[in-house]
Amino acid sequence: MKILIINGPNLNLLGTREPEIYGNISMEDYLETLQSEFSSYHLDYYQSNIEGEIINRLQKDDFDAVVINPGAFTHYSYAIADCLKNIRKQKVEVHISNIYKREEFRQKSVTAANSDAVLSGFGMNGYRLAILSLKS
């Protein structure tokens, strides 16, 4: 199974960006942990700060399932939401922090309705839980 993990804007700064919210582990380090735990899967990671690049990556359609943390695009990207709507594969939206304990504008996800599940507030472990949910 090939799982595409996509992170949106500023998530390339994990490990250094607001560690009190996002922790102090880089995505690259966490990906190594995930790959060793899920060695029977191919995990393909992609991060972009550009909305159109995320859509282009999703539209390559070379994966079996997607785990996506749209970052700030969660709250206003109808373009990514529309793209997710048209993907007929398992999709899990992940948020490191609990978006419902954050600022009001962060409490709304326009992309969630086009995902099969949403995980919020589990820290980096949310990615692991998302992959576990795809095993079934």
- How many CA atoms lie within 13 Å of 9's alpha carbon, on the beta-carbon side? 11
Coil vs helix vs strand at 6: strand
Exactly one of 30, 41, 46, 95 is catalytic; which is it?
95
> What's the confidence (pLDDT) of residue 81?
98
102 is in an annotated binding site: no
Domain CATH for 39: 3.40.50.9100
Which pair of tokens denotes residue 113? 């309705």
Per-residue tens of pLDDT for the chain, all 136 residues: 999 999 998 777 776 777 777 778 889 999 999 999 999 999 999 999 999 999 999 999 999 999 999 999 999 999 999 999 999 999 999 999 898 887 787 778 999 999 999 999 999 999 999 999 997 5
> What's the confidence (pLDDT) of residue 99?
87
The pTM assigned to this predicted structure is 0.90
75 is in an annotated binding site: yes
5 is in an annotated binding site: no
Which pair of tokens denotes residue 22? 């996002």
> What's the confidence (pLDDT) of residue 105?
74
- The answer to whether the CB of 66 falls within 8 A of the CB of 94 is no
Q: What is the DSSP letter of 71?
A: G
- The answer to whether the CB of 74 falls within 8 A of the CB of 81 is no
Range of the domain at 51: 2-134
| Cα four-point dihedral sign 10, 14, 19, 22 | positive
127 is catalytic: no
56 is in an annotated binding site: no
Structurally, the chain folds into a number of domains equal to 1
> What's the confidence (pLDDT) of residue 101?
81
22 is catalytic: yes
Q: How far is CA 105 from the centre of its chain?
A: 19
